[in-house]
Amino acid sequence: MTEPRKARLERSTRETKVSVELDVDGTGKFDVDCDIQFLKHMTETFARYAQFDLVLKAGGDNDHHVIEDTAIAMGEAVKKALGDAPVERTASCILPMDDALVMVALDLVDRPYADIDCPDPLYTHFFRSFAMSAGITLHIVQIRGFDEHHLVEASFKALGKALYGATRPRGSLLSTKDAVKMV
């Protein structure tokens, strides 16, 4: 029997309080409590498209801090839930949403990097903070589109679908280096 791939954590600072419960092997259920309605909508969308169960409570002093700390907490939860078990590791998704066409490509290797095309600086920061705390390589490319809401939402949907594919269990590690060990 395999270990459940779940994580629960809290991130609390002078500026914010964020709690996350994440089940990577869920069905896309979510319960999000957040005063920033667009962030609530985007994290629910992420959970649905990743098929991760997500319970999230986020609040704080201003939108920037709440969005940043939510991304950090969610990234840490993904990393913690996956542990060291072998997964597919890489995946991509090209996703249309009305006028928007967005590509997300990622690698769950522990070499954080983020190159993000996003029309909203707060959500560019969300994606970058998520990638850094999850320890993943993340590329988001805006192929076309003009409606900022659609471009950001398509990015969250594509991120969810790519993470779903990359987190599928494998029988063996997908690397020519084997596991990296620090001595």
Write the CATH number for 124: 3.30.230.40
**With bands split at pLDDT 50, 70 and 90, how would you rate the model's confidence at 171?**
confident
Specify if 182 maps to a domain: no
In angstroms, the first-to-last Cα distance of the chain is 31
Q: What count of other Cβ atoms lies within 10 Å of the Cβ of residue 50?
A: 25
Arithmetic mean of pLDDT, 118-135: 98
Structural domain span for residue 69: 6-166
Confidence of residue 177 (pLDDT cuts 50, 70, 90): low
Question: Domains in the chain: how many in total?
Answer: 1
Average pLDDT over residues 164-171: 93
In this prediction, residue 3 carries a pLDDT of 78
In a domain, 174, yes or no: no
Coil, strand or helix at 124 = helix
Q: Stretch 81-88: mean pLDDT, rounded?
A: 93
Burial of 59 (0-12, 13-18, 19+ CB in 10 A): middle
Res. 174 pLDDT band, cuts 50 70 90: low
Question: In angstroms, rounded to a whole number, what is the distance separating the alpha carbons of residues 171 and 175?
Answer: 12
Residue 119 within a domain:
yes
**What pLDDT score does 151 carry?**
98
**pLDDT value of position 178:** 54
Rg (CA), the chain: 16
Whether residue 181 lies inside any domain: the answer is no
User: How high is the pLDDT of residue 1?
Assistant: 45
The answer as to whether 173 is a domain residue is no
Mean pLDDT to the nearest integer, 124-146: 98
Q: Report pLDDT for 170.
A: 85
